Amino acid sequence: MRFRLVALAVLVLAGPPRLLAQSLPHLALDSLPEDSRRAIGVAYQDAVGHPNDAARVGRLAMTLHAWEQFDTAAQVYARARQLEQRFDWYYLGGQVESRLAHHEAAGRLFIEAVRLAPGSLPARVAVADALFEAGDTEGAAREYSKLTNGPTAPHAQYGLGRYLEARGEHLQALSHLQTAVTLYPEFGAAWYTLGMAQRNLGRIDEAKQSLAKAQEYGARWPSVDDPLMARVRALRDDAAAHVDRGLALQRQGDVKGALGEYETALKMNPHLAVAHVNSIALFGQQKDWVNAEAHYNSLVQTGPVPAEAHFNYAMCLAAQGKNADAESTFRKAVETNPQYAGAWSALGRLAELNGRVQEAETDYRKAGEFAPNDPLVRLNIARMLIARQQYREAIAQLEPIANADHPERARVLFGLSTAYVLAGDVASGRQYAVEARDVAKDRGQNELAAAIERDLEKLPK
């Protein structure tokens, strides 16, 4: 009797049985392709086998996150949070909700993450951003105000500028936004908001310059070191992930790194056309013709060959002076894609080099059909027109793009100058030549600037 009473007391003191965490979502693994099925499947089986193990459940969530299965990742992170009140599950759960544009939910998770790890800069920045996107701009401003020093400074200044701009306080917004782009000159979004603020103040010319910078820098953003997100990204190791990393490295100018990633990708999937196409281009840049050709031949053997592959390889051939082979390869590019403006342009250039001027003009005009705003295309057409003494038509080609900011601007202006002078309007020709020379000098195109200067000296006063 006494034993039974003690046992009963122990049971009462132990409380009710521990509630099981909610079930893991069912994953339709069979509907996934092999790479993702394998990666996710391993993590899934592990989590299913240990449903109350937060680390295993969390790893499943991170794997889903890496493969951008955000809806399911969100559910699994929620399960992980039930099992363990850990910063990782709150912060990463918030990241996933942000990707789903569920900003209110993301904000709540980030706030809790910061409570668990007050020193986490990525989490503190994420709180501010989520509050802003959810419409709590006052709350966002308070958070941004705490982050105006150190590595988060550009982001915080941008956030404060955005907050003031949203309130219609355009002048006050300006100083924060200008600080943001001073701290991080390639901050595309900050340039954009700065442009909008300047526009709203009636400073249209400044606004246009800022907006041009925004378009130039695009999605570049001042990053804060985020080791947890790096761990998520590292969980994905398929061919596509290597290609993505290769593209990112290529954009940063790391040719060797990019080629390494493409090589890894091709070992996993030898038929990955994009990796071959990009490898041809990068090996060509390095004048490694052997490897460029090897990648091209791989595609030819396995087929079909994308137009871009023909184009890139043709560029390699042209760089080696093998113009006849280059021409036939460019032709393959336009046969594959008749609207490939770059290939038509290249054919025009080769025809011109061979003295086939009429054919060159036809090819340039073909390029112009599909890329009417490409300055180089217009310049080439204009040169053909000037050669045929159709100066007014050449002017009509170039004037619409004379003021646009692009790498060929000096040549375009010089082309206009030439056309005007030959058409008999020396004054306009001189004006354009002076502008062309100045633009060329500003851009370090010294040979071009010198050539323009020599022509200027020949013009009648």
Partner 1 sequence: MAHGSRRVAALGVLSACALAASTFVNARADVGPLFVDATEQSGLRFTHDNGATGQYYMPEMMGSGVALFDYDNDGDLDVYLVQGASIDGGRPATGNRLFRNDGVVNGVPHFTDVTDRAGVGMKGVGMGVAVGDVDNDGWLDMYVTAFGSNVLYRNRGDGSFEDVTPRARVDDPRWTSSAAFLDYDRDGDQDLFLANYVAFTKDTNKVCTDHAGARDYCPPGAYAPVPARLLRNDGGLAFSDVTAASGIERAFGAGLGVAVGDLNGDGWPDVYVANDATPNQLWINRRDGTFEDDGVISGTAFNALGRPEGSMGIALGDADNDGDEDLFVTNIVGESHVLYLNDGTGNFEDARIKSRVGPATSDMTGFGTGWIDYDNDGRLDLFLTNGAVNILEGQRGQAVPYRQRSQLLHNEGNGQFRDVSSKAGPFFERLLVGRGVAIGDLDNDGDVDIVVTTNNGPAFVLLNSTIAPGHGAGAERHWSELDVRGRDGKDPITGARVGVKRQGQGTLWRRARTDGSYLSASDGRVHVGLGKQPRIDQIVIQWPDGSTESFTGIEADTIVTVRRGTGRSGADAP
Residues that bind partner 1 (CB under 8 A): 28, 30-36, 67-72, 99-104, 132-135, 162, 166, 188-189, 191-193, 195-196, 199-200, 204, 207-208, 211, 214-215, 218-219, 238, 240, 273, 306-307, 336-341, 370-373, 400
Residue 54 vs 66, nearer CB to partner 1: 66
* CB distance 54 to 86 below 8 Å: yes
Best CA proximity match to 63, nearest among 47, 86, 87, 79: 47
Instruction: Give me the least distance between CB of 80 and partner 1, in Å please.
Output: 18
Q: How many C-beta atoms surround the C-beta of residue 1 within 10 A?
A: 5
Instruction: Give me the least distance between CB of 258 and partner 1, in Å please.
Output: 19
Instruction: Give me the least distance between CB of 55 and partner 1, in Å please.
Output: 24
Residue 195 vs 429, nearer CB to partner 1: 195
- From residue 33, alpha-carbon distances to 25, 29, 261, 285 in Å are 19, 8, 21, 35
Q: At residue 192, what are phi and psi to the nearest 5 degrees?
A: -65, -50
Residue 71 vs 442, nearer CB to partner 1: 71
Residue 71 vs 169, nearer CB to partner 1: 71
Rounded Cα gap, residues 461 and 456, in angstroms: 10
* Element holding 21 (H helix, E strand): none
Q: For the chain, what's the residue count? A: 461
Residue 189 vs 436, nearer CB to partner 1: 189
Instruction: Give me the least distance between CB of 288 and partner 1, in Å please.
Output: 26
Residue 36 vs 179, nearer CB to partner 1: 36
Best CA proximity match to 39, nearest among 244, 271, 268, 228: 268
Joined together, the tokens standing for residue 326 give 């280059």
Residue 203 vs 322, nearer CB to partner 1: 203
Instruction: Give me the least distance between CB of 358 and partner 1, in Å please.
Output: 22
* CB distance 25 to 76 below 8 Å: yes
Instruction: Give me the least distance between CB of 16 and partner 1, in Å please.
Output: 34
Q: At residue 303, what are phi and psi to the nearest 5 degrees?
A: 55, 165
Instruction: Give me the least distance between CB of 401 and partner 1, in Å please.
Output: 8
Instruction: Give me the least distance between CB of 99 and partner 1, in Å please.
Output: 6
H helical segments located in 269-340: 273-285, 289-302, 307-319, 323-336
Rounded Cα gap, residues 113 and 89, in angstroms: 8
Instruction: Give me the least distance between CB of 151 and partner 1, in Å please.
Output: 20
Residue 192 vs 414, nearer CB to partner 1: 192
Instruction: Give me the least distance between CB of 408 and partner 1, in Å please.
Output: 16
Is residue 411 left, alpha or beta, with left meaning phi > 0 and alpha meaning psi from -120 to 50? alpha
Residue 188 vs 260, nearer CB to partner 1: 188
Q: Per-residue DSSP letters for 240-261?
A: HHHHHHHHHHHHHT-HHHHHHH
Residue 135 vs 270, nearer CB to partner 1: 135
Rounded Cα gap, residues 154 and 220, in angstroms: 12
Best CA proximity match to 281, nearest among 305, 261, 310: 310
**Secondary structure tally for the chain: helices H, strands E:** 26, 0
